Chains A and B, each alone.
Chain A
Amino acid sequence: MSLALRIRDLIKDHAGEKALKGISFEVPEGALFGIIGADGAGKSTLMTILATLMDADSGEVEELGLDLKKDFKILRHRIAFMPQRFSLYPDLTVVENLHFFADLYDLDPAEKQKRLSDLLKFSALEPFQKRRAGLLSGGMKQKLALCCCLLHRPSLIYLDEPTVGVDPVARRDFWILLKSLKSEGITLVVSTPYMDEAKLCDTLLLLDHGKVLDSGSPREMLSRYPYSLYRIRGPKPLAYSARKEPPQGVSLVYPAGGELRAAVDGGMNASQDDLWKDFPGANASESMTPDIEDLFFALLSREQASLEKTVK
């Protein structure tokens, strides 16, 4: 299987801090690859480097079989980057923005017309093509930004938290677009704070403080979940503050939607049928399968707890 990305020991100091502390991973061609991690984990720094917009201090990156350092000019015609911030021209209309970016990429007139009409159809922005970009809804702005990335037919696209501030309906639509790009063989590297989106990726990379904490398919990563997880029924989910110590034997307590969840160390051998008795207001507990958000909590909560402690 050929690789779209091969990264070895990537290091970057950013504003006096070690933003990336030796990162290595690979992305197969055609993958939908997700990057998750806490705020400040290094996700945006990593993407900015891979998008050729910033140099790493050291390390090797092979992108689409080319060397990032030597061949960045060629790569810029073959990759695309959708940054976190809306970076189109709010005063230009949808179609004017597309024309502008098409001209930056030097598309010839016939190709340009074809791409524009294909992309307007693909994104369902056709009815809005004369609307000024600044007046689009959040979801439509992101679709337009995606279209601007696609004009030059890149084989590899980086998307930095593309669905932040986008409502659930538009978020679902956006991911349908990503899936259809994947089916065309385009490699997508996307970061997201939404764990329901992380679940849709083939492979995930969990970054923490500039290091790779874990990676693999969502299923593989979940198989390494370190606790036994229980659902506690009865109490209001926010009744347990993260500031309070959890009951004895319980490593983590946190709300998840309308219920409370408790992660128990080594719960495999002990029967936890009566776990709920340790929680005031509870009337039942049952074992459950963790999802990606539970895993995220498990791996990062200790980290965060130690940060809170040093903060105190």
Chain B
Amino acid sequence: MQASIETRDLTRRFGSFIAVDRLTLRVERGEVFGFLGANGAGKTTAIRMLCGLLQPSSGTGKVAGCDIQTETDGIRSRIGYMPQKFALYPDFSVEMNMRLYGGLYGLKGQALRDRMDVISRLLNLEPLLSQRTDSIPWGWQQRLNLACAILHKPEILFLDEPTASVDPVSRRHFWDIIAELAASGTTIFVTSHYMDEVEYCGRVAILVQGRIAALDTPVGLKTTYGHASLGEVFLDVVERAQTTSSTQ
């Protein structure tokens, strides 16, 4: 079976700084893949390369069957990207934002209206459609953000800290939706600083200074490192990798 995401030695340098260092990974279709790392570990740089928004310095990669260097247009129509920073128009209504994003992804007419119906039902956004985006609570704004990223039925969904500052109850609902999307075959590539959420992922990679320092299922990671929670595993992996690099 063809992988959803496959990279080999993917590297990105900024001057002498190596932000992503020989990243090699394979993510299968319908997998929920957690991509962790400290701030500045290279997560966002890696995601931007996978989304075709940033050219790698070296290495290769395919996303949804498209080459990340030469077929970036193909990638963009097949993926959804929910960036870390809120990217919707605060003074537009919820519906206007959905129409705008649907249009940007090439949906129009009846097809766009049908998808907007389906998605607003899926995310319970129906009663909010006419409200100004900045007037609804933050957790719901993030739902709208997700709605805009999945209107065009992407094969792969990239979520960069989708639940930052979202309360535990709303986070729970957000993950229900993610689980439904994954069950219907969408590949999910997600970063988060909430270690309890990371437990919901099928596999988890921990990035330290641009390199994958650990990659396994949550249970595998806890067994290997001998910790009860992924939070402890994370601190352990990051500290070990940093000690190694500072003694070099």
Binding site for B on A (CB under 8 A): 15, 37-41, 84, 137-139, 161, 164-172, 193-196, 237-238, 241-243, 254-258, 293, 296-297, 300-301, 304, 308, 310-312
Query: Which of A137, A241, A243 neighbours the largest number of chain B CB atoms within 10 Å of its CB?
Result: A241
Provide the residues of chain A in CB contact with B38, threshold 8 Å.
137, 139, 167-170
Q: Can you offer 17 A-B residue contacts whose CB atoms are under 8 A?
A: A165-B161, A166-B39, A166-B193, A169-B235, A193-B167, A196-B231, A238-B200, A241-B176, A241-B180, A242-B172, A242-B173, A255-B175, A255-B200, A257-B196, A296-B169, A300-B169, A310-B127
Q: Is the interface of B mostly helix, strand, loop or mixed?
A: helix
From residue A160, how far is it (CB to closest CB) to chain B in Å? Answer: 10
Q: Which of B3-11, B109-117, B133-141 contacts A (4 or more CB under 8 A)?
A: B133-141
Q: Are B39 and A170 in contact (CB under 8 A)?
A: yes
**Per-position 1/0 for B172-200, Cβ under 8 A of A:** 11011011100000000000011110011
Interface residues of B in 213-241 (CB under 8 A from A): 218-219, 222, 229-231, 234-235, 238-239
B168 at the interface (CB under 8 A from A): yes
Q: Is the interface of A mostly helix, strand, loop or mixed?
A: mixed
Q: Are A167 and B169 in contact (CB under 8 A)?
A: no
Q: Are A257 and B173 in contact (CB under 8 A)?
A: no
State A193–B95 Cα separation when bound (angstroms): 28
Q: A137-B39, A137-B40, A238-B175 in contact; A301/B169 too (CB < 8 A)?
A: yes
Q: Are B168 and A297 in contact (CB under 8 A)?
A: yes
Chain B residue at smallest Cβ distance from A254: B172
From residue B172, how far is it (CB to closest CB) to chain A in Å? Answer: 6
User: A138: which of B39, B126, B199, B218 is its contact (CB, 8 Å)?
Assistant: B39
B84 at the interface (CB under 8 A from A): yes
B124 at the interface (CB under 8 A from A): yes
Q: A138-B39, A242-B176 in contact; A37/B167 too (CB < 8 A)?
A: yes
Binding site for A on B (CB under 8 A): 37-41, 84, 124, 126-128, 135, 137-140, 161, 164-170, 172-173, 175-176, 178-180, 193-196, 199-200, 218-219, 222, 229-231, 234-235, 238-239
Q: A39-B166, A137-B40 in contact; A241/B196 too (CB < 8 A)?
A: no
Q: Are B168 and A165 in contact (CB under 8 A)?
A: no
Provide the residues of chain A in CB contact with B175, threshold 8 Å.
238, 255
State A37–B139 Cα separation when bound (angstroms): 12
Q: Are A164 and B165 in contact (CB under 8 A)?
A: yes
Given A139-B39, A258-B222, 18 other A-B residues pairs in contact with their CB atoms under 8 A? A38-B139, A40-B137, A40-B138, A41-B167, A84-B165, A137-B40, A161-B165, A165-B39, A165-B161, A165-B164, A167-B39, A171-B193, A193-B165, A193-B167, A195-B168, A238-B176, A241-B176, A301-B169
